[in-house]
Amino acid sequence: MIVETDTPAESEAANQQRVDDIVARGPGGAFALAGVATAVVVAIWFAFYFLVFVARGGA
């Protein structure tokens, strides 16, 4: 048997407050992930440039 102490309206209000708190913090994790992914791509590009083109004298 499931016993609920909150009424559905109170539970919905609490859930909405939690969602509002999360949204208010902003997309920090998404920006961090995008920054790390960009840094990895740039690092791979520099490694390819220096290890392939410069090493062959194409610069």
pTM (2 decimals)? 0.58
Output the pLDDT for position 6: 60
> In this structure, is residue 1 part of a structural domain?
no
Phi-psi bin for 2: left (phi > 0), alpha (psi -120 to 50), beta? Answer: beta
Instruction: Report how far residue 59's alpha carbon sits from residue 48's, in angstroms, rounded to the nearest whole number.
Output: 13
Q: How far is residue 6's CA from residue 56's CA, in Å, rounded to a whole number?
A: 71
Residue scoring higher pLDDT (39 or 52) = 39
Is 32's pLDDT higher than 80?
yes
Report the number of distinct structural domains present in the chain.
1
- Tell me how far apart the alpha carbons of residues 36 and 20 are, in angstroms, rounded to a whole number: 27
In a domain, 3, yes or no: no
Residue 41's pLDDT is what?
98
In-domain check, residue 8? no
Among 23-27, 35-39, 43-47, where is mean pLDDT lowest? 23-27
11 in any annotated domain: no
Domain span at residue 27?
A: 18-56
